[in-house]
Amino acid sequence: MEQLELWFVTGSQHLYGDETLRQVAVNSQAIASALDASPSIPLKVVFKPVLTDPAAVRNLCTEANSSPNCAGLVLWMHTFSPAKMWIGGLTSLNKPIAHLHTQFNRDLPWAEIDMDFMNLNQAAHGDREAGFLHTRLRLARKVIVGHWSDSEVQARLGAWARVVSAWHDMQGARFCRFGDNMREVSVTEGNKVSAEMKFGFSVNTYGVGDLVQVLDAVSDAEIDALCAEYEAIYEVAPELKKGGDHHESLRYGARQEIGIERFLTTGGFKGYTTTFEDLHGLKQLPGLASQRLMAKGYGFGAEGDWKTSALLRFMKVVAEGLPGGTSFMEDYTYHMDPAGPQVLGAHMLEICPSIASAKPKLEIHPLGIGGKDDPVRLVFDAPAGPALNATLVDLGNRFRLIVNEVNAVVPAHPLPNLPVARALWECKPDFKTALASWIYAGGAHHTGFSYSVTTEHLRDFAEIAGIEIVVIDADTKLESLRNELRWNEVYYHLAPGIGR
Ligand code: MN
């Protein structure tokens, strides 16, 4: 994130004369510096010379398109800036836009205000001229309103900065599938060509045998070192330690982690999928390896679920440096007590230890599916706190992102016989409304579960990608949501013809 830039782009025009334009540039630089210094904005904010004519706008947009470090543009009209001069540039721009509707002064200088001040500080109408054109062009953008020193304004811009950083990461990203989809499963399927057109990432398959070759080449010394690391940071079960009955299983888990990571780094992959139905030549389902690689920032989807792998990677980049973790998740089973219904989330093995509330235990247990050796895995509980689940589905004519805000809770009782990592949560607005909404919306059982990524981040993502988003939160009413789904069917059917 540190290398990426937001370009702070100010609009004006020539009518006001050189002195006013010099002042516009000075003020604009001051705002750009303040935003650059803001701890809530993780990207560099770079001042760009004030734009006053169509050629300058075109040149800047061309420069932004070809700049590898420019993740997005923040637009602001200090004065009036006749917006037809922006058409040529903005229609060719392929970087995300935030429109910051602000002004240099916070307060009116009641005693001193004169017409020179009025002409210099015209964002109140200059930004409306810009807003009209953005709407006329059907430009995707985030509009942020308020004084630039306002912490809420900086936080909203910072949230967007994280999303454009993750969007930047997604462009050209490669995802690797070891094996295909779990047989007969529908929701994990989808159109990979449409996904590459919409999101900019590619998904391709690789033979498990190719992975096995890489695993076989991992050295004993590398495995010794990784097993020592496991003992240093986890509570390792005695039978897995050196000299224990199952130490070889742990060593094989380490071999898988090293081998898969090597395969991913060699191929330049940002995430991967596995499927328990295609493990030919692998002794265990890679549980520990997938847990550890998620914690390092890789996307992961089980059962061939490449959409969740890509979404999880995106969420990991958004969350970089924020407190709380982000994991692959599956809605597994329910506590249906009317006094407080809850969802128990887990997977066969692959939950990311970034959401562990305490030191994870490294254990070995049988796995009743897949017919392989007992796999090693990290076992832990997730902490209490606000969180969300997000899922990306392919409806045939479009992608839909579905988000449910939840409150994670600590289990009221221990789960001594549950040999996997898990999280427990309560859905907003309530169990029945949330789950009926999720099911009507076609939400998958696989999600990205996060304590750090917010609905605002995911709304910004959907806006940039141009996809549908359905949010289930404290305000959701089931029948209104069902209407939204019906209307969206029509809108997204027609939308490709509504554009400029
Ligand atoms: Mn699953």
User: How do residues 104-146 score in pLDDT, each as one tens digit?
Assistant: 999 999 999 999 999 999 999 999 999 999 999 999 999 999 9
Q: What's residue 497's pLDDT?
A: 73
Distance in angstroms (rounded) separating the CA atoms of residues 188 and 392:
9
Ligand 1: centre distance to CA 347 (Å): 6
Q: How far is the CA of 351 from the centre of ligand 1 (A)?
A: 11
pLDDT at 340 over 80: yes
Ligand 1: distance of its center to the CA of 327 in Å?
13
Q: How confident is the model at residue 1 (pLDDT cuts 50, 70, 90)?
A: confident
Q: Report CA(139)–ligand 1 centroid distance (Å).
A: 37
In single-letter form, the type of residue at position 456 comes to E
CA of 354 to the centre of ligand 1 (A): 19
The Å distance, Cα 234 to ligand 1 centre, comes to 25
Separation of 260 CA from ligand 1 center, angstroms?
20
The residue assigned the tokens 């420019």 is 70
State the average pLDDT over residues 385-403: 97
Separation CA 349–CA 490 (nearest Å):
40
C-alpha of residue 186 to centroid of ligand 1, in Å = 12
- The structure tokens 């200088």 sit at 109
Question: d(Cα 309, Cα 305) in Å, to the nearest integer?
Answer: 6
482 CA → ligand 1 middle, Å: 27
What pLDDT, on the 0 to 100 scale, is given for residue 76? 98
Is 257:296 a contact under the CB 8 Å cutoff? no
Cα of 393 from ligand 1 centre, angstroms: 15
pLDDT digits 0-9 by tens, 142-167: 999 999 999 999 999 999 999 999 99
CA of 444 to the centre of ligand 1 (A): 10
Place 263 in a pLDDT band, splitting at 50, 70 and 90.
very high
- Per-residue pLDDT band for 369 (boundaries 50, 70, 90) equals confident
Please give the distance, rounded to the nearest whole angstrom, from the Cα atom of residue 350 to the centre of ligand 1. 9
Mean pLDDT of 299-311: 98
Residue found by looking up tokens 């002004």 in the block: 103
Integer-rounded Cα Rg, in Å, for the chain is 25
Instruction: Convert the pLDDT of each residue in 414-429 to its tens digit.
Output: 999 999 999 999 999 9
Average pLDDT, stretch 462-478?
Answer: 98
Kindly tell me the burial class for residue 277, based on how many C-beta atoms sit within 10 Å of its own C-beta (0-12, 13-18, 19 or more): middle
Alpha carbons 13 and 82: distance in angstroms, whole number: 7
- 446 Cα–ligand 1 center, Å: 6
Any idea which residue has 């090693």 for tokens? 376
Rounded distance from Cα 303 to ligand 1 centre (Å): 6
pLDDT > 60? residue 500: no
pLDDT of residue 499: 60
Query: pLDDT tens digit string along 74-110?
Result: 999 999 999 999 999 999 999 999 999 999 999 999 9
| Chain-centre distance for alpha carbon 63 | 26
User: What one-letter code names the amino acid at 417?
Assistant: N
**Range scoring the smallest mean pLDDT among 11-25, 266-280, 361-375:** 361-375
Do 429 and 411 meet the contact criterion of CB atoms below 8 Å apart? no
Cβ-based neighbour number of residue 434 at 10 Å: 25
Q: How much distance in Å is there from the Cα of 300 to the middle of ligand 1? A: 11
pLDDT at 20: 93
Instruction: Give residue 217 CA to ligand 1 midpoint distance, Å.
Output: 30
